[in-house]
Amino acid sequence: MASLMEMKEILRSADAVCFDVDSTVIREEGIDELAKFCGVGDAVAEMTRRAMGGTVTFKAALTARLGLIRPSYEQVQKLISDNPPQLTPGIRELVSRLHQRGVQVFLVSGGFQSIVEHVALQLNIPTANVFANRLKFYFNGEYAGFDETQPTAESGGKGKVIAHLKEQFHFKKVVMIGDGATDMEACPPGDCFIGFGGNVVRNQVKEKAKWYITHFDELLKELEER
Domain of 43, in residue numbers: 32-82
**Mean model confidence pLDDT for the chain:** 87
pTM above 0.85, yes or no: yes
For residues 25 and 70, membership in a common domain is answered with no
How many domains would you assign to the chain?
2
For residues 97 and 142, membership in a common domain is answered with yes
For residues 136 and 181, membership in a common domain is answered with yes
**Residue 58: phi, psi to the nearest 5?**
-60, -45
Q: Are 109 and 152 in contact (CB under 8 A)?
A: yes
For residues 163 and 203, membership in a common domain is answered with yes
Q: Are 17 and 106 in contact (CB under 8 A)?
A: yes
For residues 190 and 95, membership in a common domain is answered with yes
- Give the active site residue among 15, 20, 147, 183: 20
| Confidence at residue 221, expressed as pLDDT on a 0 to 100 scale | 85
Q: pLDDT tens-digit profile of 180-196?
A: 888 888 888 988 899 98
Q: What is the CATH number of the domain that holds 167?
A: 3.40.50.1000
Query: Which among 60, 57, 55, 61 is positioned nearest to 32, based on CA atoms?
Result: 61
For residues 89 and 192, membership in a common domain is answered with yes
For residues 175 and 120, membership in a common domain is answered with yes
> At a CB cut-off of 8 Å and minimum separation 6, what does 9 contact?
none
| 183 catalytically annotated | no
| Confidence at residue 130, expressed as pLDDT on a 0 to 100 scale | 94
Degrees to nearest 5, angle at CA 123 with 145 and 39: 35
| Confidence at residue 141, expressed as pLDDT on a 0 to 100 scale | 93
CA distance 49 to 21: 17
Q: Are 202 and 220 in contact (CB under 8 A)?
A: no
For residues 48 and 24, membership in a common domain is answered with no
Low-confidence ranges of the chain (pLDDT < 70): 1-2, 49-55, 225-226
CA distance 154 to 59: 5
CA distance 137 to 165: 29
| 15 catalytically annotated | no
Omega prior to 85 cis, within 30 of 0: no
Q: What is the CATH number of the domain that holds 45?
A: 1.10.150.210
Task: Give the three-class secondary structure for 201.
Answer: coil
Helix axes 4-13, 217-224, angle to 10 degrees: 80
- Give the active site residue among 15, 22, 32, 217: 22
Q: Are 4 and 34 in contact (CB under 8 A)?
A: no
Q: Are 176 and 16 in contact (CB under 8 A)?
A: no
